[in-house]
C-alpha cells in the first residue's frame, strides 16, 4: 500500500470527502540540502549504506550546478578539507545559494581567508561553523521572497524552512483559503514566519510563538522590513503556551497580554512528534484549528484526541516524492 492510500484509509473515519493531492516534480525541488563530507565526496546514508555524491538531482538546479564546483575547491585545498564533516546548502526563489561548512576543528584566520577567496570566485556566501564559532563571508541572514514576492523573509543557515520550492507556494495559498470570518490568530511553531507573514493580511492581529531563538530573530527582522504592525511574537515552546493559557507568567511575553486578543483560529505546525497532551488541551478550546502536519501517524493520533472537532477539510502535499514522507494541511472546526 502506498503512502497516499494508507492515509486515505486512516483518515476515512474522520473525513470522507475527496482529498486534493499536490504533487512535486521528482527532482530539482529541494531548497535545502544537507550532506556529510567523506573521502572527497558529499555523503548521504540510505538503508545503512553510504552513498557518495558529486551532485544531487533532488536539489534545486542552482545547488546542483554549484555542488561539483564547491567540491573541487574543497578537495584541492588541504586546509579546507581537513576535519570538514558537513556541507549544507540553501537556495531561494532568485537562485541565490548559501553554503555552510561545518568543522570538527578550530577555524583559524588562514581558513577564513581561503574561504573568502572561494566566496569571491564562486560569488556565493559561505558560513563557517565549528564548536561555539560562526563566521559568514557576507551575512548571517539569507533573504527569500514568498507569496508571489509580496513578503521578504529571512532564514539563518541552521533554522527550519520549508524545503520544497514547488510545494511551498501551494501550501501558503491553501492555508489562506481555509480561513473564514477571521478575527485574531494564535500560531504555534511559527518558525521564521512562512505562514505568519502572509496571514498578517488576513487576521486582525496575530500572536506567533516559537521556541527557536534564530527563527524568532528572523521573524522580527521580517516584521520590520515588511512594515507589518499586527504581529506580536514570543519565544515560547508549545508547552509554555499551554502554561501561559493556564495563567503562568512569562517575562518573555513582555507587554503582550492575552486578554487583548479575540482568537478565532489557532494554527499549529508541529515537528514529526506531533502535539503533546498539554498543547492538545489548549487548542481544543479554539473554534477553528488549522493543523499542518509532516507525519500522518501523529496527525491521526492527534485528531483522534480532538473529539469535539470535526475535520472540515484535508489537502495533501507530496514534498518528498518517492519517499514515505507526506505533508498534510487540514481545518478542524468545533462541533
Q: Does the fold of domain 32-139 match that of domain 3-24+166-334?
A: no
Over 90: is that where the pLDDT of 209 sits? yes
Per-residue pLDDT of 48-57, as tens digits, reads 899 999 999 9
Phi, psi of 44 (to 5 degrees): -130, 160
CA distances (Å), origin 268, targets 199, 234, 323: 13, 15, 24
pLDDT more than 70, % of the chain: 100
294 is catalytic: yes
Cα distance between residue 143 and residue 225, in whole Å: 11
pLDDT value at position 47?
87
CATH tag for 32-139 (out of 3.40.50.10800, 2.40.50.1070, 3.40.50.720, 3.50.50.60): 2.40.50.1070
Q: Is 1's pLDDT higher than 90? A: no
For residue 99, pLDDT over 80 is answered with yes
User: What is the average per-residue pLDDT within 101-126?
Assistant: 97
159, 190, 218, 294: the active-site residue: 294
Q: What does the pLDDT read at residue 106?
A: 97
pLDDT surpasses 90 at 44:
yes
Catalytic residue among 187, 210, 240, 327: 327
For residues 294-314, average pLDDT: 97
At 56-70, the pLDDT tens digits run: 999 999 999 999 999
Report residue 229's pLDDT band, with 50, 70 and 90 as the boundaries: very high
All structural domains of the chain with their residue ranges:
3-24+166-334, 32-139
3-state secondary structure of 206: strand
Largest CA distance in the chain: 65
CATH architecture of 3-24+166-334: 3-Layer(aba) Sandwich (3.40)
The answer to whether 331 and 178 are in contact (CB under 8 A) is: yes
pLDDT band at 289, cuts 50/70/90? very high
- Indicate whether 220 pLDDT > 90: yes
Q: Which residues pair with 94 in a beta bridge?
A: none
Mean per-residue pLDDT for 238-252? Answer: 96
The mean pLDDT of the chain is: 97
State the average pLDDT over residues 258-287.
97
The pLDDT > 90 percentage for the chain reads: 99
Amino acid at each position: 500500500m502506498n503512502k497516499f492510500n494508507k492515509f486515505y484509509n486512516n483518515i476515512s473515519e474522520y473525513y470522507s470527502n475527496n482529498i486534493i493531492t499536490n504533487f512535486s516534480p521528482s527532482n530539482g525541488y529541494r531548497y535545502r540540502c544537507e550532506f556529510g563530507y567523506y573521502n572527497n565526496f558529499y555523503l548521504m546514508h540510505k538503508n545503512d549504506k553510504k552513498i557518495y555524491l558529486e551532485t544531487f538531482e533532488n536539489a534545486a538546479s542552482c545547488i546542483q550546478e554549484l555542488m561539483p564546483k564547491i567540491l573541487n575547491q574543497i578537495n584541492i585545498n588541504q586546509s579546507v578539507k581537513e576535519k570538514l564533516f558537513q556541507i549544507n546548502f540553501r537556495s531561494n526563489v532568485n537562485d541565490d545559494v548559501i553554503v555552510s561548512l561545518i568543522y570538527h576543528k578550530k577555524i583559524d584566520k588562514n581558513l577564513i581567508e581561503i574561504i573568502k577567496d572561494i566566496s569571491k570566485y564562486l560569488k556565493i556566501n559561505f558560513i563557517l561553523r565549528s564548536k561555539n564559532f560562526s563566521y559568514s563571508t557576507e551575512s548571517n541572514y539569507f533573504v527569500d521572497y514568498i507569496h508571489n514576492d509580496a513578503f521578504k523573509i529571512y532564514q539563518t543557515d541552521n533554522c527550519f524552512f520549508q524545503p520544497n520550492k514547488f510545494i511551498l507556494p501551494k501550501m501558503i495559498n491553501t492555508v489562506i483559503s481555509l480561513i473564514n470570518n477571521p478575527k485574531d490568530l494564535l500560531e504555534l511553531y511559527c518558525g521564521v514566519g512562512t505562514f505568519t507573514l502572509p496571514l498578517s493580511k488576513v487576521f486582525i492581529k496575530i500572536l506567533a510563538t516559537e521556541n527557536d531563538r534564530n527563527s524568532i530573530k528572523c521573524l522580527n527582522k521580517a516584521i520590520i522590513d515588511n512594515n507589518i504592525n499586527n504581529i506580536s511574537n514570543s519565544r515560547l515552546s508549545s508547552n509554555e503556551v499551554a502554561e501561559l493559557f493556564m495563567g503562568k507568567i512569562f517575562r518573555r511575553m513582555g507587554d503582550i497580554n492575552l486578554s487583548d486578543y479575540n482568537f478565532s483560529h489557532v494554527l499549529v505546525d508541529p515537528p514529526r512528534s506531533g502535539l503533546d497532551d498539554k498543547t492538545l488541551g489548549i487548542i481544543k478550546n479554539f473554534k477553528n484549528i488549522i493543523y499542518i502536519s509532516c507525519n500522518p501517524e501523529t496527525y491521526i493520533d492527534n485528531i483522534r484526541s480532538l473529539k469535539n472537532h470535526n475535520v472540515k477539510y484535508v489537502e495533501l502535499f507530496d514534498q518528498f516524492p518517492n519517499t514515505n514522507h507526506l505533508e498534510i494541511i487540514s481545518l478542524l472546526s468545533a462541533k
